[in-house]
Amino acid sequence: MSFTKNAFGLVTVLLLAAPGENLRCEPEPIAAAPSSIEDYMDDLLAMQPIAESRSGVRMSIEVVHDAYLYFMAKKYEECLNFGFDEDLTVGKLKSAHIKYKRFQKRLYFRIHISGEGSKCVIFDKKFASHLEVTQKSKKTSFAKRSFHALNVSPSVKFSRWTIFGKSVLSNTKKNLFGFQSLRAEVTSYSIKAANKEPVYFRLKGIRVQGQNQSPGDSINVAKRQISTKKTWGELQVYGPTIVMTPGNWEIPLPPADFLRVLKKLGYK
């Protein structure tokens, strides 16, 4: 046997005997990339996120052009996480399709209202009365638009509060709701994405009071007490105004696999 053949055989034996990890040339595993449905939902909420501050209150709003698509995308992602195949996913999403199909073509807004620093926001009316939404129509420059609150957290529930004036002996009782942070999900059919006119969200008729500011001007949410040197009317302020511009929205396309499932459910 020649020297070359002997050398080749020796190399072969050494390679076969070598530990498996020494032969590996693949890169180390990396974190899985986000699924296309995750990217799609992120793109929906990135259509026009806006935040504004005024009178010690901050309000932020995210908009989605079609509430049905957003809700179904969330349910579809759950099915993917469970590893369901397409046929099983269609079966699992039938009830969600029936529940959410009434929201097709309705705008969806995710709203966050918070007091800046130690400030608290006070409502004396229901949520829809403090948040005014308008959009120009053929008849008027600022036509009020209706919206439907799907979820408000914490719920706006009124309780009896005591308002102390300049004197400890002078106090009044009012049904109020106070909070530092409130989140709401709302939909609207009367606000039209096809209408290129701006949409105005105005937080109005609120009171704002800081915690532990001074003995004469403070709020104690736990005890439902407000101390102020002002009259109740003087405490009222306007919160932020946010202007959304439908004409500037870039609407993302749904992933092909998600759209295929929706069409099997009857989506048009």
Predicted TM-score of the model (pTM): 0.82
Whether pLDDT at 216 is above 90? no
Assess contact for 158 and 176: CB atoms under 8 A: yes
CA 236 to chain centre: 27
Integer CA distances (angstroms), 134 to 140, 141, 202, 210, in order: 10, 9, 8, 30
Query: 164-197 pLDDT, tens per residue?
Result: 987 666 789 999 999 999 999 999 988 878 888 8
Query: 120-162 pLDDT, tens per residue?
Result: 999 999 999 999 999 877 666 677 888 999 999 999 999 999 9
H or E element in which residue 207 lies: strand 206-210
Domain segments of the chain as ranges: 116-245
Assess contact for 17 and 226: CB atoms under 8 A: no
Instruction: Find the angle CA(58)-CA(63)-CA(68) to the nearest 5 degrees.
Output: 140
Query: 8-58 pLDDT, tens per residue?
Result: 444 444 434 444 444 344 334 333 434 699 999 999 999 999 999 999 999
Rounded to whole angstroms, the Cα distance separating 69 from 104 reads: 7
